[in-house]
Amino acid sequence: MTATETAAELPHGMRALRLHEWGVAPSLDRIPVPQPGPGQVLLRVDAAGLCHSDLHIMDADAGVLPYTLPFNLGHEVMGAVVAVGDDRDREWIGRSCGVHGVWSCGECRACAAGRDNYCVELNGPIGCGTGYDDGLADFILVPSTRHLVELDPAAGPEVAPMTDAGLTAYHAVVSQPVDLRGAIVVVVGIGGLGHLALQVLTLRLPSLVLAVDPRESARELALRLGAHHAVASVAEVDALAAELSGGSGADLVLDFVGAPDTMGGAPGLMAGGACLVVVGSAGGSLTVTKGGALPRGWRVEAPFWGPHHHLQDVLDLAVAGDLAAVVEQRRLDEVLEAYQDLREGRADGRLVVVP
């Protein structure tokens, strides 16, 4: 074990948004700055995005999630490496990086196949903000440089959402086994993930993209980002998809809400052989059975986050200007109000905390 290598003198204390009790709002605490042990790296957080999943974590009842309290919330982080636990990682000091939040083992059969988001070793906590301390803090400790993707030092806070919202949306679209050229696609929920999915979709050349969101500002955003039509409800998109497809329906439905009404309405939108991809976690459910409400040849997926190699792709697209998150910046001391805005649908695009 080598001594910790640091870029400069670090402060002793830092602010961190900590969840202490299930179902109770987190608090912005003052805690010691962690020291990197062997293999670990410490990053100064430059930006951390806020996700609806954080609300589901905060709101969860005790015993639902396999995480030990307390821990720092958030899971969408970029920052600069300021200290490393191993001398061999010294070259990382000073690098600006995005953090891949799935802290996979790197060795199991899923990791070896590039499906590290389904690492077989991740049975409890998953990564930063999902059971381990995360970047809604001044500093974040990451277990290995394997979980980092180097960024252009000029990358701004708008890149932070690429590590979760961008990666999850990208993975959901590009993992489709069918060619989307000429397809009819419905995107439900034009929030943090949906507005990035629209941009990924335009690169895949579908013939028709229909966006659904009850908020007028979100529908306007969808139209600016390449959606051909934007409507307020699943019932409206049902009628529109039927009309525009000559009655057959959509080939792909991406549900970034996952509520009872969005999932319940999805089978009626789908053409034969279509896929419903459920990404949002708003308590919806669906009866999956042959000969039921779903069309012939149905596929239903619920992809989780995305693998490390897709994060590299997403960050390359962001640097090239092909993928850009619409963000609204907040300070760390405003984070609790920012979550309230997210909860009440007052944010367009992604809220990003810049400590």
Which residues contribute to the site for Zn ion (CB under 5 A)? Answer: 51, 53, 104-105, 108, 111, 119, 121, 164
> Which is closer to Zn ion, CB of 40 or CB of 104?
104
> Which is closer to Zn ion, CB of 113 or CB of 205?
113
CB of 247 to Zn ion, least distance (A): 36
DSSP 267: G
DSSP assignment of 273-308: EEEEEE---SS------TTSSSPTT-EEE---S--H
CB of 116 to Zn ion, least distance (A): 6
Measured CA to CA, the distance from residue 205 to residue 140 in angstroms comes to 38
> Which is closer to Zn ion, CB of 129 or CB of 355?
129
Measured CA to CA, the distance from residue 10 to residue 58 in angstroms comes to 30
8 Å CB contact between 52 and 192: yes
Residue 296's Cβ-count burial label (10 Å; 0-12, 13-18, 19+) is: exposed
DSSP 152: -
Question: Phi, psi at residue 203, to the nearest 5°?
Answer: -75, -20
- The answer for residues whose C-beta is within 8 angstroms of residue 264's C-beta and 6 or more apart is 284, 286
Question: Phi, psi at residue 15, to the nearest 5°?
Answer: -90, 145
CB of 233 to Zn ion, least distance (A): 25
> Which is closer to Zn ion, CB of 113 or CB of 178?
113
CB of 10 to Zn ion, least distance (A): 28
Residue 153's Cβ-count burial label (10 Å; 0-12, 13-18, 19+) is: exposed
Measured CA to CA, the distance from residue 51 to residue 280 in angstroms comes to 11
CB of 53 to Zn ion, least distance (A): 4
CB of 135 to Zn ion, least distance (A): 12
> Which is closer to Zn ion, CB of 112 or CB of 178?
112
> Which is closer to Zn ion, CB of 105 or CB of 235?
105
